[in-house]
Amino acid sequence: MKFIHDNFMNMNNYVDHVDGILLDLGVSSPQFDEAQRGFSYSHDGPLDMRMNREDRLSAYDVVNRYKEEELKKVLWNYGEEKY
């Protein structure tokens, strides 16, 4: 058995070389319960919100360092509410 830690968008690099795939597609209660993860509604914490803690870019970086036009593009392309 081999574990591959990668982004789902890169899955096509692996599917020809495996017999099966197990995916972790959800969030867990500790992600919402731990304030330091940045997902909690009931605890104050840093604006992190990274699913993969090895990623360098956090929600704090996006909100505080992106230019207004970049934020508009992110919200338009990835937000569920267009207006």
Mean pLDDT calculated for residue range 27-52: 85
What is this structure's pTM?
Answer: 0.63
15-18 LR contacts (CB < 8 Å, sep 24+): none
> Which pLDDT belongs to residue 48?
92
Mean pLDDT calculated for residue range 13-42: 82
Which two structure tokens, joined as six digits, stand for 74?
A: 């992110």
Q: Which helix (H) or strand (E) holds 75?
A: helix 68-78
